[in-house]
Amino acid sequence: MKNKQSSLPKKEVESVFALYSSGEYQKAVEAIKGLNSHYPNQPLLFNLIGACYKELGELTSAAKMFEIAITLSPQYAEAHFNLGVIHQDLDHKEAAVLSYKKAIEINPNYPSAHNNLGNIYKDLGEIESSIESLEWAIAYKHDYAEAHNNLGNALYESGRVQEAIKSFEKALTHNPNYARAMFNLSLALKDVGKKKDYQKLIEKTLQLKPHWSDAQLHLSRVKKYKKKDPQIAELHSFLKQKDLILKDRINFNFTLAKVYEDIGDLDNQFKFLNEANNLRKEESGYKFEKDLRLFSKIKETFKNPPKPLTSSKIKSSKVSPIFILGMPRSGTSLVHQIVSNHQMVYGAGELTKLNKFVTPFLKESKNKEITEKNLISIRENYTNELLSLNTPESIIVDKMPLNFRYIGFILTAFPDSKIIHMNRDSMAVCWSIYKYFFPGNAYSYDQKDIAAYFLLYKDLMNFWKTKFPNKIYDLYYEKLTINQKIETQKLLKYCDLEWDENCLNFHKNTTAVKTTSAIQVKNKMYQGSSDVWKKYEAYLKPLLDGLNYYKD
């Protein structure tokens, strides 16, 4: 807040600023109202009272004050910026963008406006615009730690993980105790397989913010707890806090479940695991019927599949996708690392773009046919997203497990594409889903829901194989772990790739893996993981019954 006094009396204005600076916002409001009665057309006063209202949580009143300030002084960059902040707080993203752009138009050297604009662009999914805005923020303020951190987030989102790491490190150079940047750096290091650095930074983050439940949860994924670990009592004390928000309660319960798993107390493990999942299901409001309707709509849409695009309708492209799909925790990350370690292949990780381009067609009226024009649109939009990755490799791996829902769209829009379907023991998959916190998969917080969803998945895969025979490559996780070289050879042959010894050394792959299994797939292949669930069989009756596991 700049102290622009105009013709206002100096002492009174300084007194108001002193009240604002000391956090006495209500007193500041009363003082400003007194000044307003004598100086009714001073934009500074409206800007300042708007700032007070913001701090008091009266966002609508704050916005009105900033708007009056702008009406009185259209070139008042700070008022435009402050109005942008209010729009951002109210989740009016488009309006916030306009306000920040106006502030920057008036005053290009406005690092905070560039920074906030970059954050909104990121939220809107406009990642390149986000990166550009954040780079401007840093250009005008080289030691702007927050902007370096935000740039790291945008780069990370775009898949440029190594560049993101550098940005987080720069943020910490300018602010060594910046817990958020430290945490973000740790996650990026986890994704490239630097387990020790990941754990070290998480622990350092928790020294600064021990109550941070996100950091506690992530630490639990790499730390091995022992019975007398003082952190256990600390976690229990955090969970007992009466004013704990739901998100933190969920995180601490998941963390304590991992604690008790490590020390071999299965009863307590499931006590906290069940509580965490129950709370998360309540928070998500998940209803199985929603997925049932979606899967039914997909099958209805492809009851009579459209003809695949012919070569005459397909524009030549420099990129060709390989889709790795299946249920989460089925081994998709492992196969991504194997294939992307080939010298001709780029691993793009979990791309969300296909879902973005397909969803509108599933939301349209019932029984509406997918036209050739629709397929061309999906193909061109998706291909443009792949091209935007700017990779030297022409073959790009998209490892989004839930793309199994869209196989019909893939095989009609990309008739020559390669689809690798990961298969794994159903209990191994479903137990692992229940055990780990999957924020994006709403079905994963209840054993019955998981089993029901798995059966939907199996039914849909059978449907696709009927409609598109011999177009889907089935790879079995258990076979891959037992006969790594043979299965890898067959896999590469299916993908029309020459043999590359690097594919056997997938654990050395430096490609970032943004999944729960990021650390696991940086290790050598191991056998027996599909049987781990048997240790917990007594606690998994709803899963076993839901899957009819012993009746198949």
The side-by-side arrangement of strands in the sheet containing 395-398 is 345-347, 395-398, 320-325, 418-423, 473-476
Termini Cα distance of the chain = 69
Confidence (pLDDT) at 492: 96
Confidence (pLDDT) at 526: 61
Q: What per-residue string of b and e applies to 347-361 under the rule 16 or more CB within 10 Å gives b?
A: bbbbbebbeebbeeb
- Identify the CA nearest to 518 among candidates 109, 198, 92: 198
- Identify the CA nearest to 366 among candidates 293, 310, 439: 293
Phi-psi region of 512 (alpha: psi -120 to 50; beta: other; left: phi over 0): beta
In the three-class reduction of DSSP (H, G, I as helix; E, B as strand; rest coil), residue 15 is classed as: helix
DSSP H or E stretch at residue 473: strand 473-476
DSSP H or E stretch at residue 321: strand 320-325
- Identify the CA nearest to 402 among candidates 446, 381, 363, 433: 433
Amino acid letter, 371: T
Confidence (pLDDT) at 516: 53
Confidence (pLDDT) at 86: 97
Helices (H), 341-397: 353-363, 372-387
Confidence (pLDDT) at 361: 83
CB count within 10 Å of CB 151 equals: 28
Please state, in angstroms and as integers, the Cα–Cα distance from residue 272 to each residue in 102, 263, 387, 543, following that order: 50, 14, 45, 18
Confidence (pLDDT) at 4: 45
What are the average pLDDT values for consecutive 10-residue runs of the chain, which has 552 residues? 59 84 89 85 92 94 96 97 97 96 98 98 93 98 98 92 96 98 95 90 96 96 94 96 94 97 97 97 94 94 92 85 96 94 92 89 70 93 90 94 97 95 96 90 96 98 97 96 95 96 79 53 62 94 93 60
- Identify the CA nearest to 107 among candidates 65, 136, 72, 148: 136
